[in-house]
Amino acid sequence: MPVRSKDNFLVFGSPLIGQEEIDEVVASMKSGWLGTGPKVARFEKDFSAYVGASHAAACNSCTAALHLSLVALGLEPGDEVITTPLTFCASVNAIIHAGGTPVLADVDPVTQNIDPEAVREKITPRTKAVLPVHFAGRSCDMDPIMAIANEHGLKVVEDCAHAIETTYKGQHAGTFGDFGCFSFYVTKNVCTGEGGMVIAREEADIQDIKVLGLHGMSADAWKRFSDEGYKHYQVVHAGFKYNMMDLQAAIGIHQLKRVEENFKRRCEIWDMYQEAFRALPVGTPAPEEPDTRHARHLYTLMIDPVACGLDRDQFLVRLTKENIGAGVHYLAVPEHPYYRDRYGWKLEDTPHAVALGRETLSLPLSAKLTDDDVADVIEAVNLCLGA
């Protein structure tokens, strides 16, 4: 791997792509089978085996996965879905596009995940589902969340965009609720450029997802054009165009093979950061809870203006001048004007999420980083803080 010069910008979230992925994509192109086909089926099978799921359906994004899962729940106008205010807008948008009303329950200020007691407080007769987000790779506290859901007859859709390797009490994230939705976006721990996956306990649910995700047609398109012979289809739902292509799955197959190897490298980088920033006036990620595995997807720093002498955005400007890329994960949902204006959400209703959203940034954590890259990040953080 070529060594990056400090004069070159260190891109946040740049994926580690191997020759195997390149060869598999080229093989797909030579085969002439670019769309949804046998490699998608293989990726679904491999991913199911990895997370311990019985059934899976690949799609073109985690956003699509969330939307399809919520549509499959049969949300009706007025149905409420409780989720976290500390998440990417896709979590909330999927609820809206599925016809539901998003309701925000604040996060625990330490774990930064949705607080189960806050969920309980938000339940009304209109509540249909809970959508917990495993933020940064840390598992939500799923025992109380599932207990609340079972007590009130609620469905659970897990947003596992950050949580491919995450486990809770020995069980993979995404396998607790009715649906688990994963992301293979370019910055994710397993990437396909764009892509997502839905897993479910019930085969009938996944069959619904597959039909909804391909125009509402009753048969997979690749099966219709396979060597089994042409099969007629019927449109049974007003579906969507959310299917994954073989070109994407070709990358994912080999990314998934190296998921544990890459996880170990990110753990090494994580530990270097934790040691380097221990004495600095910044907030760092809390230790993972007992009997859980943190996926190490995002390494976050919290920049308290009083303690650091500058705010998060000023810190980001300085970090960029040092040629280090970073991410903002995330401004709390009520900070965004669309949601604030439409739902009347007030910042004081979710104070923990708002405070974290204003102070948090994410540092590079890709398995692609060399030790020299990590040293550059650490040096830059110190320089930005005047340490």
How far is Cα 31 from Cα 26, in angstroms, rounded to an integer?
Answer: 9
Q: Phi/psi of residue 379, each to 5°?
A: -60, -45
How far is Cα 186 from Cα 208, in angstroms, rounded to an integer?
Answer: 27
Q: Calculate the alpha carbon distances from 371 to 154, 265, 309 in Å.
A: 46, 10, 29
CA-nearest of 373, 366, 370 to 17 is 366
β-sheet bridge partners, residue 127:
80
Provide the token pair at 77: 């106008």
- Please, what sign has the CA dihedral across residues 253, 72, 76, 141? negative
Q: Calculate the alpha carbon distances from 174 to 14, 53, 86, 209, 342 in Å.
A: 25, 9, 18, 16, 30
Residue with tokens 């985690």: 62
Q: Calculate the alpha carbon distances from 100 to 160, 163, 177, 207, 376 in Å.
A: 20, 25, 18, 22, 45
For this structure, is 188 an active site residue? yes
- Please, what sign has the CA dihedral across residues 292, 12, 133, 330? positive
The residue from 169, 188, 210, 241 that is catalytic is: 188
Q: What is the dihedral of CA 41, 22, 184, 29, to 10 degrees?
A: -50
How far is Cα 67 from Cα 75, in angstroms, rounded to an integer?
Answer: 11
Residue with tokens 């270097």: 272
Residues 6+ apart with CB under 8 A from 130: 81, 82, 83, 119, 145, 148, 149, 154, 155, 156, 157, 177
So which residues are the catalytic ones? 188
